[in-house]
Structure 1
Amino acid sequence: MLRKSLLLCLFLAFWFAGGTSVFAQSPSVPVIKLPQLQKYLQSPSDTTYIINLWATWCKPCVEEIPHFEALQKQYAGKPVKVLLVSLDFAKDLDKKVIPFVQKRQLKSTVLLLDEPDYNSWIDAFDPAWSGALPATLFLNNAKQQRFFVEKPLTPALLQEYLSTKFSL
């Protein structure tokens, strides 16, 4: 009895102290369909959305994610929102995407788009998009601003696009 009480006390102390072990919460990565993503694509708000399409298996995608994380931090408190939209298979959420997010301690919103028929939705981002990754959509519907780029982005390019195309 004393042993169970001691274990319970240790568990509770660790839990309330914010320990990071097997008891720590996994990051939330919602699996969504296109209609849920379209709320951002069609949002009438004056928020500039930077929607990066990536996958854990895409080396240039993985290399540019820290740039988006830095951007999210730089514009914290301003009407700018970074969305990292994974195009990994939904079946890989627990074994690839969530561990990826945990390992890199991503703070931006991460979503997994579960739409395996790419030809049915890539035009929603840009009719000229070939489907190659990485790809990024910069969007502010209130200001009628939209810019799509289908290549890896450097911090300098991100800043250039935001300052010249969106006056941020």
Structure 2
Amino acid sequence: MKLPKLLSTLFLLPALAGAQTVQSVKYADLAKRLAQPSDTTYVVNFWATWCAPCIKELPSFEQLNADYANKKVKVLLVSMDTPTLLDKKVVPFVQKRGLKSEVLLMNEPDPNAWLTKLDKKWSGAIPYTLIVNNKKNQRTTFEKELTQAELTAAVQKAL
């Protein structure tokens, strides 16, 4: 191995070791997680790599994740991209943007089979955000792009 190639490999190893992973998830697994009887407030954002408003609001969720890192708040970013694009598009997108929040990819062939189970009023449009606090029996939804102020206010209300 030539020295320049060896050096570039050594410099890449730490970056690859800490690289964000994206887990594929079925609706039932997500629903089970969100139904846990805990005092954790879940902030779940449904987005896609091809959705401009979704991408625009991602930094707000990342900021929320950082601001509430020591609180019982869990940010989940659920990609609605096609499961076949997980390795080709979603993982590189997440890594390029350095997302720190937990990222999942919804692996369901028919969104219409589970959308109304999550929220009867959800048309399927994204971005879509669900804020759940089971201890307080609170559930708030937004079928629109959220500003940082709207997101923070909604989470404060749920705590």
Question: TM-score, length-normalised on structure 2?
Answer: 0.89
2:65 matched residue in structure 1? 72
Q: Percent identity?
A: 52
1:57 matched residue in structure 2? 50
1:20 matched residue in structure 2? 12
1:30 matched residue in structure 2? 23
After superposition, the C-alpha distances for 1:85-121 in whole angstroms (9 at most, x for unaligned) are: 0010010011110111011000000000111211110
Contact (CA 8 Å) 2:20, 2:100: kept in 1 or not? no
1:126 matched residue in structure 2? 119
CA apart distance, 1:24: 2.1
Q: 1:23 to 1:52 in 2, by over 3 A?
A: closer
Q: 1:90 to 1:48 in 2, by over 3 A?
A: same
Q: 1:90 to 1:22 in 2, by over 3 A?
A: farther
- Give the AA of the match of 1:141: N
CA apart distance, 1:23: 7.8
Larger Rg: 1
Consecutive unaligned residues in structure 2, runs of 5 or more? none
Q: What value does the CA root-mean-square deviation take over the aligned residues?
A: 2.1
Consecutive unaligned residues in structure 1, runs of 5 or more? none
Question: TM-score, length-normalised on structure 1?
Answer: 0.85
Using the TM superposition, name which of 36-45 and 152-161 deviates more.
Answer: 36-45
Q: Distance in 1 between matches of 2:146 and 2:26?
A: 26
> SS state of the match for residue 84, structure 2?
helix
> SS state of the match for residue 88, structure 1?
coil
Q: Distance in 1 between matches of 2:38 and 2:27?
A: 19
The correspondence for 2:130, drawn from 125, 137, 140, is: 137
For these two proteins, the number of residue pairs brought into alignment is 155
Q: How does 1:45-124 map to 2 (within 5 A)?
A: 45-124=38-117
After superposition, the C-alpha distances for 1:33-81 in whole angstroms (9 at most, x for unaligned) are: 1121112221111000000000000000000000000000000011000
> SS state of the match for residue 102, structure 1?
helix
2:154 matched residue in structure 1? 161
Contact (CA 8 Å) 2:31, 2:118: kept in 1 or not? no
- Give the AA of the match of 2:43: I
Q: Which has the higher contact order (CA 8 A, sep 6+)?
A: 2
